[in-house]
Amino acid sequence: MKQVRKAIIPAAGLGTRFLPATKAMPKEMLPIIDKPTIQYIVEEAVEAGIEDIIIVTGKGKRAIEDHFDHAFELENNLAEKGKLKLLEAVQRSSKVDIHYIRQKEPKGLGHAVWCARRFIGDEPFAVLLGDDIVQAEVPCLKQLIHQYESTGGSIIGVQPVADSETQRYGIIDPIAKEGRLYQVRTFVEKPPAGQAPSNLAIMGRYILNPEIFRFLDLQEEGAGGEIQLTDAIRRLNEIQNVYAYHFQGVRYDVGEKLGFILTTLDFAMQNSELRTQLLEEMEKMVRKQSQAIG
């Protein structure tokens, strides 16, 4: 069995939910405290043993490329001032081998993955979405790679969501379960309210066999008129087993405003330099709001 060595990070979406912030900057560059979202994702891939990463970019390409490049002036300045902790943080972002490809039009997630097909060639690969940060003892992607190594089939990371939320996600229709691993009858992208086959939602982490490109090559439009990755996964599952894995860890949805704010607050609470003061300020805010209400 071939090893999973390469990862695709699609970052070419329009980010309309964060306009106007995303007019000239990709949403994947929005920071959680002091680190762009996409760096959390890159670090997860590296911790999972990925050797080569390709980022699919659209507008604002330069901000991402610059971020992962060496910043000589800044590094010299920090070294001269003895700010070694900051220097280490800055250098960490330029240590991995990252490649870039442009998606000329945001035609959907399936299309973004298809754009990286030549880079992937004929081997299994990972996809990590910049919208989802996962905090876990064993990095989420590593958990999926373990499952790939024991099954040889594509592995889709899932977690349960509330029934009212299923229409926002790709949802699996599970057949059988062994531990946290599911065999899947089919995959449905954004099922209409009340029609979801389960509440297990696809959460932005995938290990895919290269045969997926046979279906992405067809460039078929699905939900919302976009070329959907979930549709190609459903077709792949018809010719070889595709599994879903309920991964361990806390998943943060940073792709929409409230999720982004809650993620920032939760990460700040975990930060010893910010926690105490943040709690005090939040108590003040809550008091003020309660008084205003009545």
Point out which residues bind ligand UTP (CB under 6 A).
Answer: 10-17, 27-28, 56, 103, 106-109, 111-112, 129-131, 255
Residue 245 CA to residue 21 CA, distance in Å, equals 34
Question: At its nearest, how many Å lie between ligand UTP and the CB of residue 225?
Answer: 11
Residue 54 — φ and ψ, nearest 5°? -120, 125
Question: At its nearest, how many Å lie between ligand UTP and the CB of residue 112?
Answer: 3
Q: Which is nearer to ligand UTP, 130 or 139 (CB)?
A: 130
The CA-CA-CA angle for residues 267, 199, 47, to 5°, reads 40
Q: Which is nearer to ligand UTP, 15 or 153 (CB)?
A: 15
Question: At its nearest, how many Å lie between ligand UTP and the CB of residue 111?
Answer: 6
**HEC per residue, 226-254:** CCCHHHHHHHHHHHCCEEEEECCCEEEEC
Q: Which is nearer to ligand UTP, 10 or 174 (CB)?
A: 10
Q: Which is nearer to ligand UTP, 60 or 153 (CB)?
A: 60
CA 239 vs. chain centroid, Å, equals 26
Decide: 119 and 9 in contact? Cβ < 8 Å: no
Decide: 130 and 11 in contact? Cβ < 8 Å: yes
Number of Cβ atoms within 10 Å of the Cβ of 261: 11
Ranked by CB distance to ligand UTP, the top (closest) residue is 13
Q: Which is nearer to ligand UTP, 168 or 287 (CB)?
A: 168
Question: At its nearest, how many Å lie between ligand UTP and the CB of residue 188?
Answer: 17
Q: Which is nearer to ligand UTP, 27 or 205 (CB)?
A: 27
Question: At its nearest, how many Å lie between ligand UTP and the CB of residue 132?
Answer: 9
Q: Which is nearer to ligand UTP, 111 or 234 (CB)?
A: 111
Question: At its nearest, how many Å lie between ligand UTP and the CB of residue 103?
Answer: 5
Residue 61 CA to residue 43 CA, distance in Å, equals 19
Q: Which is nearer to ligand UTP, 174 or 204 (CB)?
A: 204
Question: At its nearest, how many Å lie between ligand UTP and the CB of residue 157?
Answer: 14
Residue 169 CA to residue 166 CA, distance in Å, equals 6
Question: At its nearest, how many Å lie between ligand UTP and the CB of residue 293?
Answer: 31
Residue 100 — φ and ψ, nearest 5°? -130, 145
Return the closest-CA partner of residue 50 out of 5, 115, 86.
5
Decide: 268 and 274 in contact? Cβ < 8 Å: yes
214, two tokens: 């046979």
With 0-12 / 13-18 / 19 or more C-beta atoms within 10 angstroms meaning exposed / middle / buried, residue 216 is buried
